[in-house]
Structure 1
Amino acid sequence: MTTIMQRSDGQLWADAAGGDEAAFGLLFDRHVKAVYNHCFRLSASWSTAEDATQAVFLTAWRRRSDIRLVDGSALPWLLTVATNVVRDERRSTRRWLAAVLRLPPDRDAADLADHVAGRVDDERRMREVLRAARRLPRAEREALALCVWSSVSYADAAQLLGITEASVRARVSRARARLTRSLGDAAAPLPHETQEA
């Protein structure tokens, strides 16, 4: 009498077709490595090979009564199923990728990229303006910071600084002129006019 381990693939498949899970488990143990290696060689991916191997044996269990042995072995049938599984996976991936590539560009992502680029540009420009502003006389720098950068009215700035409104206007005008000479186009727009966060 032969033990279950000594049974042929044909005998094990016949038992598995009748619902014998132990017989199917032995067939799995007997052929899983060859199926897995075959799937890896077709896909060049260990994770794809693992998924494909699972799909092969799931198909084998579902179709256990339809299997065709070749020279008494189930392996050729399993390898054929493995080839089809990997091919189907490859086609599915190509279709998915083609569908993704047909999608219109994500406007939100483009807008975000533009926003980030704008902010980086604003920071660079602000650093240049601040370097130049530090060279201004203190009185002009204060008037510029209040009226231009912080949008304080000339009248309110005059009150804060304890000078006339005309003096505030003159200081702001001189500060703008010096910055324009120093920075050229980088002075405009001045920082309060750049995009908000």
Structure 2
Amino acid sequence: MYETDTDGELIRLALRGDRGAFSAMFARHGKAVYLYAWGMTRDDRDAEDLTQDTFVIAWRRLRGIRLVDASALPWLLVTCRNLARNALRARRGHLALDESLLPGDRTRQERVEELTWVREAIGRLGGMDQRVVHLCLVEGYSYAEAADHLGLSTSAVAKRLERARASVRRAVRGEA
């Protein structure tokens, strides 16, 4: 039944609760998404995780999937690419500060102190502001993506980020 359905029809059926239609879309595009993910990561486990996460997001955002030439594959690949980039950013963000990578003179100590102040200033922000900072500045989400993720308006995310940046600047200058 599903083999002849277009991706648009599969999405419409899935929106009505037909999980078989969504499974058919996975069967149709899962291998391509996996191979694309593997090409970016060169790791089977990471590629499997990215493929799974891509389809989880697709399921949650069925209404938002944009078809290109009647295919959901371009949307799936862009989603997979964004997830891979976010995962890479998150890995880099969790690396410990290695002072040996900083310049070897007096500037090194100043930068270490400044980074410490920045981390402390971010830690003093409210929970939602910390989440906005993390999503937009660490993980690289756009304001619209962060707003969608947090259930806020895009302008609220922009305002919170503006206030957070000002707060961090004041803390680094020693004003707060």
Per-residue CA deviation, residues 6-38 of structure 1 (Å, 9 max, x unaligned), is: 111111011112221000000001100000000
- Extract unaligned runs of 5+ from structure 2: 100-176
SS of 2:64's equivalent in the other structure is coil
Matched ranges for 1:1-197 at <5 A: 3-97=1-95, 100-101=96-97
In 1, Cα distance between equivalents of 2:84 and 2:6? 27
What do you get for the CA RMSD once the two structures are aligned? 1.4
Aligned length in residues: 99
TM-score, normalised on structure 2?
0.54
CA deviations 1:76-127 (Å, max 9, x no partner) are 0000000000000000011012xx2459xxxxxxxxxxxxxxxxxxxxxxxx
Computing the radius of gyration from Cα coordinates, the structure with the larger value is: 1
How much does 1:4 deviate?
2.2
- Partner Cα distance (1:82, 1:38) in 2: 8
Q: C-alpha offsets along residues 124-178 of structure 1, whole Å, 9 cap, x if unaligned?
A: xxxxxxxxxxxxxxxxxxxxxxxxxxxxxxxxxxxxxxxxxxxxxxxxxxxxxxx
- 2-structure distance, mates of 1:24, 1:53: 14
In the alignment, structure 1 segments of 5+ residues that lack a partner are 104-197
Q: CA–CA distance in 2 between the matches of 1:49 and 1:101?
A: 28
Identical residues among aligned pairs (%): 43
* Cα distance in structure 2, aligned partners of 1:50 and 1:4: 24
Provide runs of 4+ in structure 1 moved above 2 Å: 100-103
Can you list the C-alpha shifts for 1:45-81, whole angstroms capped at 9, x where unaligned? 1111111111000000000111110000000000000
